[in-house]
Structure formats: structure tokens, C-alpha cells
Amino acid sequence: MWTTIAVISIVLLYFISTYNGLVARRNQVREAWATVDTQLKRRYDLIPNLIETVRGAAKHEKETLTELTRARTTAMKSEGVDSAKAQNKISQTLKSLFAVAENYPELKANQNFLELQQELSDTETKIQAARQFYNTVVMGLNTQIEQFPSNLVAAMFGITTEKMFEIDEAEKVTPKVKF
């Protein structure tokens, strides 16, 4: 009888421990995505200032500025990991904008533009780090969910895998800037 109670207690403790571990990992994933979201918000806030600065110096680059505005609007409406395409479009458009700016000496010398360019560069670095951290914690959660016997606990409580932050092959291509 004591042996049965001991075995049941051990199994119960395992289930509790595994469940709590899964919940902790799921919360890490949510926190990691919130960090990505925070950096994306920072990017969204900087883009209008950058557009206005460039608009004043390079009036005929309307197409690039319009594309950046469109990409920002699309990205702000996107949610969760599915917004990866929209976020990557912003990154590509920003690269194009900075390449266009190389042809405008007055813009390159503009202190506001230089500061905004540096802020966006820093933000892009932080976004990449946040995405990498997000993917790391998602991998940990997904691995635990897929391994036996913790997969049984995950299935019992409806804890599912999360999607990694990825980009499409087409988005890996360096954008072409034409003058």
C-alpha cells in the first residue's frame, strides 16, 4: 500500500513539475514576444520623423517614402509572429531609403537625419536581438512539448507549440535601389 502511494505521489509530482515548467516556458515566450513588440513600437515611432526629415531634403523621392509609410501602416496592423513579413518589408524599405540618402549631401549632413538614422540602426539591432531571444525561448518550449513524456502533460492541458519568427526566402534578397 505504501509503495502504491509513493508511486502515485511521484507520478503526481512529475505531472505538477512538468506542467509548471511548460507554463513557465510559455510565459517566457509571451514575454519575449512583448520585447519584440516594444522594439517594433520604437521603430514605428521613429519612422514618421525620418520620413519628414528626408521629405524636406529629397522631395522627388516620394515613391520610397510612400513605400515606407505603407510598410509601416501594414506592420502596425499585423499581429503576432505572422507580422514577420510586414516587419521585414520595413527593414528592406529602410535599407532602400538609406541608400537613396547617400545621393543627397545636404541630407547626409543633416543632424536630425543622422540622429534618426542612428536611432533606427540601434533599434534594428535591438529588434534582431529580441527576435533571436524569442526564437530561443520558442525552441525551448517546443522541444519540451515534443519530448516524451512531457508531451503527454502538454496535450492534457492544451499547451501547444509556438511559431518561430522566420523570414521568407524572397525577403533575404538585398533590395535593389535604382536612381
Q: Where are the domains of the chain?
A: 2-172
Cis peptide before 149 (omega within 30 of 0): yes
Mean pLDDT of successive 10-residue stretches along the chain, which has 179 residues: 93 94 96 90 84 67 74 79 73 76 68 79 90 95 94 94 77 47
Q: Counting beta carbons within 10 angstroms of the beta carbon of residue 140, is it exposed (0 to 12), middle (13 to 18) or buried (19 or more)?
A: middle
Q: Nearest CA to 122 among 55, 42, 48, 35?
A: 42
How many Å apart are CA 61 and CA 133, to the nearest integer? 36
What are the cell numbers at 109?
549632413
Task: Write the CATH number of the domain with boundaries 2-172.
Answer: 1.20.1440.20
> Which residue type, as a one-letter code, is found at position 8?
I
Write down the pTM of the prediction. 0.69
User: Cα 98 to chain center, whole Å?
Assistant: 21
Q: Counting beta carbons within 10 angstroms of the beta carbon of residue 162, is it exposed (0 to 12), middle (13 to 18) or buried (19 or more)?
A: buried
Q: Each residue of 34-52: b (16+ CB within 10 Å) or e? A: ebbeebbebbeebbeebbe
Alpha helices by DSSP H, 58-110: 62-77, 84-101, 105-108
Residue 48: predicted pLDDT: 82
